[in-house]
């Protein structure tokens, strides 16, 4: 097995080179100077001394992008450095240039499949021009059936494919584009179909102005199979505007659409929207579903929990998907109804797992938590191979140059090419070399949850402890927030401009810095030491404001103003209050932080109250 794994890594051209342990200051300065020189127009020969440098492929790709006529040098670069992402991008650009020049033999000789659609079409068209029609058209339908406009380099090969102009293929593509929300392209395709074009025009109008649906009768909206295919997407747009107001309109089609998968998906989303608004129509939409999915079942369970309708919960979820959430609350329902035997049976189903609901179930059974740690077993030979891997060598070089973005890209590029056994070895290697954020991503993409050392690393123990001492906030809580907010990425920046390990908005960071007399210069928010102190200070301020760990955690994510509104919900049972949080993100956030806090306490060998005790205490 190990030989097969090693062969896979070697065969991708990703190995080998002597291990680049650490670039000297001289090498780093040369690289940066060379990069500047290439940008200024220097010839590639001026940096010949750097051909052995790990980042030479980036320098060469920069140069040859400006000098695409150097065909022999470029193809030689493909041979030696094709594993480097910029060289693959150069390849795609160069292939398109060769197509424009009509050099079809050259394309066929030097083409590699990088996943780029335009370059692939140029290659297929070159094959077709050279008479290899069969290979040119292999799986061409998978390229053509796209919900988006495709590169003009595909026009030639599509023109040679007779199905391109067949009405059924055009209709399939128009429908794909419509359901993806790409309305302009959907209309472009539909315009080739005289009978269907007016229908598409009308329904595209509904997507752009959903309330105009109300001007039509059900008979008009379901007149043909195409009407019935397009309607669910328009209804979803409508109920997103106001789920409570438009539920009666959207649900009138339920009987007719009992076997329409898109309509059933719309009902599932509508159920969630209504539950988040604590609206009783959720019971109706859930009942109308032919086969309720997990999302809808969890949503309706939450609704029944919020309203303490225990008998209805027991009945309604009897034959529904059983997630940890559903099993826990079914146990609570049986307990509320006096059936302790069935309550314990449901708790037992999940008490041996590691998540928020499993911990609550274990509490009900007075059992210790199961953390299910399954450490990755490093294979020495494979770990050595990874240390000699060109992508990882380049990642280390970028890290030493302060370019963490390209370092992460290199790591995730190789990770995407590895089978799960080797990807697990990569995650171990990354964790050992302090690429904790990337290791978390690699395992997360595989849904590989059980190496808790890798998934819940502790690289900032001293900083977290210092922040805890400064603010009085439990160190495990700080770590749980860091893990949820940034997955250990000190350079993280969100779309809302939250920054650093604990994802602080700059204004909030300045307020905390002032309150704690911490010097905060322009880039200090990305300093892990300062960020953890300021994040812990903000967490402390939220706890002071709400006097409860759960409310403070919700406020850290959603903001204190929203939590002030939500405390109007019944807080007599905080587990039920959590289910009533109307923001999906915040509700999941709170549960994960509670889970992660226990996980970090276990890893750090510190004693914490149970989850049930924590959420019913007024102090952290």
Q: What's the CA gap between 351 and 324, in Å, rounded?
A: 9
Contact 439, 427 (CB under 8 A): yes
Catalytic residue among 236, 298, 485, 595: 485
Say how many CA atoms lie within 13 Å of 604 toward its Cβ. Answer: 25
Tell me, yes or no, if 162 is annotated catalytic.
no
Contact 282, 275 (CB under 8 A): yes
Buried b (16+ CB within 10 A) or exposed e, 260-293: bebbbbbbbbbbbbbbbeebebbbbbbebbeebb
Torsion of the alpha carbons at 340, 345, 349 and 354, rounded to the nearest 10: 30
Sign of CA dihedral 33, 35, 40, 43: positive
Q: Which two tokens stand for residue 165?
A: 């102009």
DSSP designation for 493: B
Contact 163, 145 (CB under 8 A): no
Distances (CA, A) of 119 to 57, 79, 413: 20, 18, 19
Sign of CA dihedral 384, 483, 410, 28: negative
Q: What backbone torsions phi and psi does residue 493 show, to the nearest 5 degrees?
A: -135, 125
Taking alpha carbons only, the member of 352, 348, 347, 349 closest to residue 371 is 352
Q: Which two tokens stand for residue 369?
A: 């938590």
Q: Which two tokens stand for residue 559?
A: 């903001």
Buried b (16+ CB within 10 A) or exposed e, 389-424: bbbbbbbbbbbbbeebebbbbbbebbbeebeebbbb
Q: What's the CA gap between 392 and 430, in Å, rounded?
A: 9
Other C-beta atoms closer than 10 Å to the C-beta of 195 total: 11
Sign of CA dihedral 544, 545, 547, 551: negative
Q: If you compute the radius of gyration of the chain from its CA atoms, what whole number of angstroms results?
A: 29
Q: Which two tokens stand for residue 279?
A: 């609206």
Supply the residues annotated as catalytic: 485
């Amino acid at each position: 097995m190990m030989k097969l794994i090693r062969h896979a890594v070697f065969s991708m051209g990703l190995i080998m080179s002597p291990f680049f342990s650490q670039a000297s200051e001289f090498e780093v300065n040369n690289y940066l100077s060379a990069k500047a020189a290439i940008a200024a127009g220097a010839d590639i020969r001026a940096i010949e001394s750097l051909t052995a440098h790990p980042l030479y492929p980036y320098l060469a790709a920069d140069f040859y992008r400006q000098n695409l006529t150097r065909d022999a040098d470029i193809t030689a670069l493909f041979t030696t450095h094709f594993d480097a992402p910029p060289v693959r991008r150069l390849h795609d650009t160069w292939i398109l240039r060769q197509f424009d020049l009509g050099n079809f033999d050259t394309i066929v000789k030097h083409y590699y499949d990088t996943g780029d659609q335009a370059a692939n079409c140029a290659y297929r068209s070159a094959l077709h021009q050279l008479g290899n029609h069969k290979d040119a058209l292999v799986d061409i339908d998978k390229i053509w059936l796209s919900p988006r406009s495709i590169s003009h380099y595909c026009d030639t090969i599509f023109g040679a494919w007779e199905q391109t102009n067949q009405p059924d293929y055009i209709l399939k593509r128009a429908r794909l584009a419509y359901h993806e929300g790409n309305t302009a392209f959907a209309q472009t395709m539909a315009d080739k179909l005289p009978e269907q074009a007016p229908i598409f025009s009308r329904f595209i109008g509904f997507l752009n102005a959903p309330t105009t649906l109300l001007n039509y009768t059900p008979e008009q909206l379901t007149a043909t199979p195409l009407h019935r295919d397009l309607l669910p997407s328009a209804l979803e747009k409508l109920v997103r505007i106001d789920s409570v107001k438009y539920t009666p309109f959207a649900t009138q089609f339920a009987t007719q659409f009992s076997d329409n998968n898109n309509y059933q998906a719309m009902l599932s989303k509508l159920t969630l929207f209504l539950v988040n608004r604590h609206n009783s129509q959720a019971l109706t939409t859930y009942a109308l579903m032919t086969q309720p999915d997990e999302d809808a079942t969890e949503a309706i369970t939450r609704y029944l929990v919020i309203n303490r309708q225990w008998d209805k919960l027991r009945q309604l979820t009897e034959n529904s998907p059983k997630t940890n959430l559903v099993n826990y609350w079914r146990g609570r329902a049986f307990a509320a109804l006096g059936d302790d035997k069935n309550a314990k049976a449901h708790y037992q189903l999940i008490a041996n797992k590691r998540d928020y609901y499993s911990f609550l179930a274990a509490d009900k059974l007075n059992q210790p938590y199961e953390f299910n740690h399954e450490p990755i077993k490093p294979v020495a030979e494979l770990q050595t191979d990874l240390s000699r891997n060109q992508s990882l060598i380049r990642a280390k070089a970028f890290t030493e140059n302060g370019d963490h973005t390209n370092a992460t890209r290199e790591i995730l590029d190789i990770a995407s090419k590895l089978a799960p056994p080797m990807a697990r070895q990569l995650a171990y290697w990354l964790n050992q070399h302090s690429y904790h954020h990337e290791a978390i991503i690699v395992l997360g993409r595989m849904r590989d949850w059980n190496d808790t050392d890798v998934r819940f690393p502790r690289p900032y123990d001293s900083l977290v402890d210092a922040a805890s001492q400064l603010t009085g906030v439990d160190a495990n809580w700080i770590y749980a927030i860091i893990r949820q907010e940034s997955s250990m990425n000190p350079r993280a920046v969100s779309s809302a401009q939250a920054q650093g390990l604990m994802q602080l908005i700059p204004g909030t960071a300045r307020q905390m810095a002032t309150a704690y007399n911490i010097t905060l210069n322009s880039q200090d928010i990305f300093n892990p030491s300062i960020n953890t102190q300021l994040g812990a200070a903000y967490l402390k301020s939220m706890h002071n404001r709400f006097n409860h760990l759960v409310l403070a955690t919700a406020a850290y994510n959603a903001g204190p103003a929203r939590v002030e509104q939500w405390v109007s919900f019944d807080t007599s049972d905080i587990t039920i209050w959590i289910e009533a949080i109307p923001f999906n993100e915040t509700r999941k956030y709170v549960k994960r932080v509670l889970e992660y806090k226990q996980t970090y306490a276990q890893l750090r060998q510190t004693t914490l109250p149970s989850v049930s005790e924590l959420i019913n205490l007024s102090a952290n």
